[in-house]
């Protein structure tokens, strides 16, 4: 079955440091890939997505590139802020239907990011 | 729009009691998903609906769990009887044409 593996956390960085959170996946076919962010006490929010190989998703300074050859979708940000402290989830969907493709997701275990001033 | 609304935010109950979690999706969204989040198993999809019809309930852990969506603006997830291992955060999410929006979740503690 499908699976998503994220780098072990937690990750602790100083403000303005470079961030990488690794994500690799196993899936049949050509899944869509997502990064979600969860702030304390809140539900998950979509951060960015990519639907085909070599696509780059980006939002709020975060980027991730869909690498089919390495089955990876690593999250990066050039300069993190204290407000980026949250839990980050990598996820995939191998559903072809547009309705379920964004909702029927397999999630990684999440990576806790803490950014200090 | 107020977003996906879940109630209650917190629920503490005793083993054996019935628990009902509620969800109001975003108006106009035609898909509704119930997820469960635990430290051990992470986020798991329990069941989802399309246009109020249950499509896939293969993630529902046991017969003690049931979900309904009587109309487009309301869904429930019921656990009867509840057990301590059901303790988790339960999220409802709704989707339309490619955007998935989560509620803030219900923190369930079964003692």
Instruction: Write the pLDDT tens digit of every residue in A28-48.
Output: 878 999 999 999 888 899 999
The nearest CA of chain A is from the CA of B28 a distance in Å of 13
The angle subtended at Cα B84 by Cα A37 and Cα B39, nearest 5°, is: 25
Structure confidence at residue A30 (pLDDT): 84
Dihedral of the alpha carbons of B60, B64, B65, B69, in degrees to the nearest 10: 130
What average pLDDT does this structure show over B21-41?
94
* B43 contacts A104? CB cut-off 8 A: no
pLDDT band for position A94 (cuts 50, 70, 90): confident
Percent of chain A with pLDDT over 70: 93
Q: What is the mean pLDDT of residues A65-92?
A: 96
- Residue A98: the pLDDT is 60
Q: Nearest-CA neighbor of A111 among A16, A24, A15? A: A24
pLDDT in tens, B52-75: 999 999 999 889 999 999 999 999
- How buried is A34 (Cβ within 10 angstroms: 0-12 exposed, 13-18 middle, 19+ buried)? buried
**Residue B11 to residue B9: CA distance in whole angstroms:** 7
Task: Kindly give the pairing relationship between strand B53-56 and strand B106-110.
Answer: unpaired
- Which of A37, A38, A43, A93 should be substituted to probe chain B, the one whose Cβ sees the most B Cβ atoms within 10 Å? A43
Which residue of chain A has the CA closest to B6?
A: A43
Where do the H-state alpha helices sit in A1-117? Answer: 98-101
Q: Is B15 on the interface with A (CB under 8 A)?
A: no
pLDDT at A79: 96
Closest CB to A103: pick one of B43, B95, B105: B95
């Amino acid at each position: 079955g499908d699976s998503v593996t994220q780098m072990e956390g937690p990750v602790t960085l100083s403000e303005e440091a470079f961030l990488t959170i690794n994500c690799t996946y196993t899936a049949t076919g050509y899944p869509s890939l997502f990064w979600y962010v969860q702030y304390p006490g809140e539900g998950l929010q979509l951060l960015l997505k990519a639907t085909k190989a070599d696509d780059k998703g980006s939002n709020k300074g975060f980027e991730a590139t869909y690498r089919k050859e390495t089955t990876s979708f690593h999250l990066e940000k050039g300069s993190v802020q204290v407000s980026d402290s949250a839990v980050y989830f990598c996820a995939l969907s191998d559903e072809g239907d547009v309705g379920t493709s964004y909702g029927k997701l397999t999630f990684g275990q999440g990576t806790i990011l803490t950014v200090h001033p | 729009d107020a977003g996906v609304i879940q109630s209650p935010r917190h629920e503490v109950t005793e083993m054996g009691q019935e628990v009902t979690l509620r969800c109001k999706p975003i108006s106009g969204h035609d898909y509704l998903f119930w997820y469960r989040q635990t430290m051990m198993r992470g986020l798991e999809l329990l069941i989802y609906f399309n246009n109020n019809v249950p499509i896939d309930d293969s993630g529902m852990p046991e017969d003690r769990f049931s979900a309904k969506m009587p109309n487009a603006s309301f869904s429930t997830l019921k656990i009867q009887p509840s057990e301590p291992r059901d303790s988790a955060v339960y999220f409802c999410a709704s989707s339309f044409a490619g955007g998935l929006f989560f509620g803030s979740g219900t923190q369930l503690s079964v003692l």
